[in-house]
Structure 1
Amino acid sequence: MCCACSWLFRMMSAVAGDGFCLVKRRRGRGRSRRGEPPCAPLPPAPALTAAHFPDQPLDQLTALRRIRAAKEDLLESDYYKHFFNTLKESLSVIDKREVVEIISLGLGHIGDCTISRYQLALTLCLRDNFRVDCHVHDPIFYTDECHILETLDFKLIKENEEGKRTLRNDGITIVYLPHCPKQLTNNFLWNNWTTNLKNCVLIGNSFLRLIESQPHDNLNISAPYILNIQPYTEEFSLVNSFKFNDVFNDTSIHVFPARTLGLITDNFWHRDDSEPDYSNNVEFISSNIISRLRSRNS
């Protein structure tokens, strides 16, 4: 996510009296190497509706044209060649079994943000290469963005599952979480906390960099499942050579080889029955946050 995050924080400021706490970001981030802002200027925060998350009309034909152009641009880049070769290498570690589906969460505003547009372009390239269904969701998608995704033959996940999507047993699922908060990845791991993780290729923020950059005491609260699985993860770093350096930065491919998971004792896979709780953390867009935003305007 990119400009969408800042917009969300501004929307939350309207309900600060309900207990939300805003987190300020450092200035100077979110610009491309060439000096142009990769995302469109933030629009004024629209009024909330009771029916859906804050909405904004888009020129769908223009957005589709830009998305398709971004896909062609990406396909011709050295970054994509490097990415796909690394992906093939990661698949070889998990026995080159068939990819059966793709899940992409947290793409952000694909209609008016360049970062999100190119991340969607990568999702399109993955889907077209493997010729499987791709399921997508972001609780901040505009209605018009949902129509765009349906036009592109994506399968929309209707509810905010908060990353708790269950892996299939009949092949490999590629899970793409571009620049998503660690809590979303933690939820995904919690929901699939078994040796079935061997059926997953997870593309997202580097586990290793996360663990090296944050105190373990903090991660034990906000991302314990990432912390626990990392020693048994094979991580493939990606060189950030794309022309816009804020699109695919800090991205790695993670796999969980069966030979490694088979060495873990059964006790390791015990998990809390209660779902992870990230109260008062605006980095993570929970279903509860959206409900509170909606009720504020109802």
Structure 2
Amino acid sequence: MSDTGEEWQMARRRKGAARKPKTLLGSTASTCCQEQLDVGKTVKRIRDTASELRCEEFWQDWKGQLQAAGSSSPSKPPENKDTEDPTEQPDKGREDRLCQQLECVCYGLGSFSSCAAARYQLAMLLLLLDAGQIPLEDCSVFDPVFSTGEREVLRNLGLTVLTENEEGKRLATKPTLFYLMHCGKALYNNLLWKNWSTQCLPLMTIVGNGFNGMRERTIGREFERDYSYISLAVDVCEERRLLCPSRLIDVFSDTAVITFPTSSLYRLPQSTWAEPQEPQYQHCPDLEIILREKQS
């Protein structure tokens, strides 16, 4: 590993700074990045980092866990399951086609041009897209802290850069991998709220912080009050913990692949699914999410 201990400490502070709560999109957070970015050099650095990670033993565990999660996810919304040809037999070609149906959404990556941790997380995203056979252009990325140069780097890598701050409120209409490394709880909670049904949740695969860890680090009554959708989901989701080498603890710690088996969801009371209320976070002074600008 070429990064020194000092660089990792600086990277950790930068990553943390990017997660401080903001009230408006387009705040001063974006000024921490270099606008005059050498796009070609940065693209090469990220690809070199991906090649480095590909040689790591823990990558094979990540790849296997993602594929295991994908094999248990539905290829289409549950209500359409009966329309499949019953004579069609599972084969390798069909598995490949199911993989190709995936799309990906990445939120909260951070300033990868100046933060080593964010750069490694971006490199890992590229590996996961390759493992899941997800075309680069089918991966949408967004973080309000991205500089103009960083957005150009992402486009050069082949990714799709979103222009709107969705605050995590993205509806999954097809099997979707959500890559949410070290994002705030509110973003996860927003995502769950937007997809809070027995039809949409099974379409989601999340690679990010484990829900069990969130619960353990939060006071119980506050967790249930402020992050009610995570609180409900934690007992019915399937969480596969991912290996993390000690030297990359600030980059990939407490990471899991999270899926939502349909059979588990039906353990929740029917009233759970009736008219889910949009989260408001009135009691959360440290929200850990940059909100979009309100239109006047």
TM-score (norm 2): 0.77
Deviation at 1:151, TM superposition (A): 0.7
2:168 alignment partner, SS class = coil
* Residue matched to 1:197: 201
Q: Gapped runs of 5+ residues in structure 1?
A: 1-31
Contact 1:78 1:241 in 2 (8 A): no
* Structure 2: distance between partners of 1:159 and 1:247: 26
1:109 to 111, 135, 138: 111
* Residue matched to 2:178: 175
Deviations along 1:22-71, one digit per CA (max 9) or x if unpaired, are: xxxxxxxxxx99633224586xx9xxxx9954333122222212111111
Contact 2:25 2:290 in 1 (8 A): no
* Structure 2: distance between partners of 1:213 and 1:52: 30
* Structure 2: distance between partners of 1:219 and 1:52: 29
* Residue matched to 1:142: 147
2:104 alignment partner, SS class = strand
4+ residue segments displaced more than 4 Å:
39-42, 50-53
* Structure 2: distance between partners of 1:35 and 1:205: 24
Contact 1:197 1:256 in 2 (8 A): yes
User: Kindly, what percent of the aligned residue pairs are identical?
Assistant: 32
2:73 to 89, 94, 97: 94
Is the alpha carbon distance of 1:257 and 1:138 closer, same or farther for their aligned partners in structure 2, counting shifts above 3 Å? same
Contact 2:107 2:142 in 1 (8 A): yes
How many residue pairs get aligned? The number is 252
C-alpha RMSD of the superposition: 2.7
2:59 alignment partner, SS class = helix
2:270 is aligned with 1:266? yes
1:162 to 155, 158, 167: 167
* Residue matched to 1:76: 55
* Residue matched to 2:64: 85
* Residue matched to 2:286: 281
1:244 alignment partner, SS class = helix
* Residue matched to 1:29: none
Deviation at 1:282, TM superposition (A): 4.8
* Residue matched to 2:210: 206
Is the alpha carbon distance of 1:215 and 1:273 closer, same or farther for their aligned partners in structure 2, counting shifts above 3 Å? closer
Q: Gapped runs of 5+ residues in structure 2?
A: 18-23, 75-94
* Residue matched to 1:12: none
* Structure 1: distance between partners of 2:26 and 2:185: 25
TM-score (norm 1): 0.76
